[in-house]
A and B are shown apart, each in its own frame.
Chain A
Amino acid sequence: MNNKIFFSKKGSGYEIGKKPTYYVVIFFFLTISFMLFGFLIISEVSSSSSIPDNARTTVLINRFLNSEDCFAYKDSETGRVYPGIIDIEKFNENNLEKCYYAEKKYDSKSFRLTLNGEDIEKKTILTTNWGSSRFGQASQYVLLYNNGEISKANLLIAVQK
């Protein structure tokens, strides 16, 4: 092995001998730079194409409140659906399961809904994917249809990502 190539001495082959170390260092930093560059691009792409989380949550909450498949009250005589009026008879986990497929493949959020009103007992229902992770929550005033009577109630909506 020619030491001059790898280990230089003063005045003879110093620069040539230093190159391998230089290349190793450069290669190492270049690899990191490439990875960083790729990561930055991917995160940029992802952020530019993402839908704001709140937008989807709002749409899903609207499904609970406005759709007759979920909890919205439907006048059986006229067939009219009243968005925002919760039919107490529909407010149960069985109905929630039918109107909201809480499956991983749909990237479904987990919800815990607590209905509280003057004329009813506090009632909480959960989507099947509700777990023990962190959640954010908000409350919303709703109207409640109960045995032909309309009353005010509060819906506490907890969401897990």
Chain B
Amino acid sequence: MKKRGMADSMLVAIEIVGAALVSFLLITTALRWADSETPYKEYLSKDIGLVIESLMASPGNIKINYSNNASDYIIDIQQDSVAVYTDNKDDGMQSTFIPSHKIKMESVELRNPETIQFLKTNDEIIINEEIQENLDLVYCCEKTGYKKQKINLLVDLKDEENELIYPKLCVIANSFMVNIGNKNFIGNLISTRKLMEKTDDEISQINCMDESYSIPEKKADVILSITTGNYNDDSNNIKAFVLSGSEKEEESKRLACLIINSISKSMITEDLEITGASVVPVNLTTTNYDFPLDLISSYTENQQNFESVFVMIELGNINSDQGKDLIEKMTQIGELIAEGFSDYE
């Protein structure tokens, strides 16, 4: 009887221990899953994949600040997959996304990123913790085969009727001319404005006190016309107009693009807002923009037969605050235009 009692007690004890063990297992498993990072890792990997697929579905340039917190994980993004893990890949979750044959994307591993930014510009996706790229950059076509030789470069200035703006444009033009001279420009600098007298060793400069306008006899290989936008809104766009259908349209677009990008890239670090940037091919017969028509028609009556590279750069909007700030950076802008020009070949 005593033995049986002892066996009963033992069984009860075992039952209690078993029940406690089972309860403990169930509760800890539930708690582990409740607290588990596994679902979040899986969610992050899928969500990042979806963001990349969305970027691939979007035309134009886009920058996305990713809002989910991924600072506890390592995010490994490959050409078609996203892995999210803590220490090693075995404890992580991975998902795939559908890549694009045309859009380039470098593989990247972000370790405990505080922020994640996605940037799509033209045919490239960049992912990093912080991206300084400027969305206003314009896609420049590949080198056009146009070789910079000893060229005649004509600098044309507009806005002479605006007494406040014209002197500033003149400073920009002179800064441009000095800077391309310093960048080993080989060629002749000519202008529709009167140049100051100089010795052979000196670089040509426009006489800003003399607003007279004349078309040089020497034909220009490249014409750069500088003006400002005059719009009744807050926009501050940089535009470059080229002659649509002209013989050097592609070369003109490339030069325009390089100049725009040179300015836009620099202005983002200056905290100056450029609201947009574009290269605009125009048909002179259908536009009401103020083009240097006398100059263009002195080369040919038909813009299709225009044989020179032509770019009219419009520097912001003088009616907006940001546009006014932009035009105040005269010497810097001249330098940036020269930088864009020197990249052109």
Contact = CB atoms under 8 A, between A and B. Distances in A.
Interface of A: 13, 15-16, 19, 30, 34, 37-38, 41, 44-46, 48-51, 55-56, 59-60, 62-63, 66-69, 72, 77-79, 81, 83, 98-101, 105-108
A30 B42 CA distance: 30
A84 B249 CA distance: 28
Nearest to A27: B18
A69 to B, nearest CB: 5
Nearest to B60: A81
B30 A41 contact: yes
A59 to B, nearest CB: 5
Contacts of B22: 30
B84 to A, nearest CB: 11
B244 interface: yes
B56 A63 contact: yes
A37 B31 CA distance: 12
B54 interface: yes
B36 interface: yes
Contact of A106 (B33, B38, B56, B96): B96
B39 A69 contact: no
Interface of B: 4, 7-8, 11, 22, 26, 29-30, 33, 36, 38-40, 42-43, 46-47, 50, 53-54, 56-60, 80, 96-103, 139, 244, 280-281
Contact of A100 (B30, B54, B98, B281): B98
Nearest to A33: B26
A46 B40 CA distance: 10
Contacts of B40: 49
B250 to A, nearest CB: 11
Contacts of B53: 56, 59-60, 63
A150 B36 CA distance: 54
B43 A59 contact: no
Given A48-B39, A59-B53, A108 B29 contact: no
A48 B42 CA distance: 9
21 contacts: A16-B11, A34-B26, A41-B29, A41-B30, A45-B38, A49-B40, A49-B46, A51-B46, A56-B53, A59-B53, A63-B53, A63-B56, A66-B57, A67-B58, A69-B100, A69-B102, A72-B59, A77-B281, A81-B59, A98-B101, A106-B96
A106 B59 contact: no
Contact of A79 (B29, B80, B98, B139): B139
A37 to B, nearest CB: 6
A38 B7 CA distance: 34
A99 B11 CA distance: 68
Instruction: Give the interface SS of chain A, mostly helix, strand, loop or mixed.
Output: helix
A117 B281 CA distance: 32
B11 A19 contact: yes
Contact of B244 (A46, A77, A79, A99): A77
Nearest to B141: A79
A40 B325 CA distance: 62
Contacts of B98: 60, 100-101, 106, 108
A67 B56 contact: yes
A16 B47 contact: no
A81 to B, nearest CB: 4
A50 B96 CA distance: 13
Nearest to B49: A51
B103 to A, nearest CB: 8
B68 to A, nearest CB: 12
A49 B56 contact: no
B47 to A, nearest CB: 7
A105 B96 contact: yes
A60 B57 contact: yes
Contacts of B36: 45
A107 B39 CA distance: 19
B119 to A, nearest CB: 17
B96 A59 contact: no
Contacts of B103: 69
A106 B101 CA distance: 14
Nearest to A50: B46
A159 to B, nearest CB: 14
Given A16-B11, A77-B244, A98-B101, A49 B42 contact: yes
A63 B98 CA distance: 11
A55 B43 CA distance: 14
A49 B39 contact: yes
By Cβ-Cβ distance, the 5 closest A-B pairs, closest first, are A63-B57, A81-B59, A49-B43, A49-B42, A62-B57
A92 to B, nearest CB: 16
Contacts of A46: 39
Nearest to B30: A41
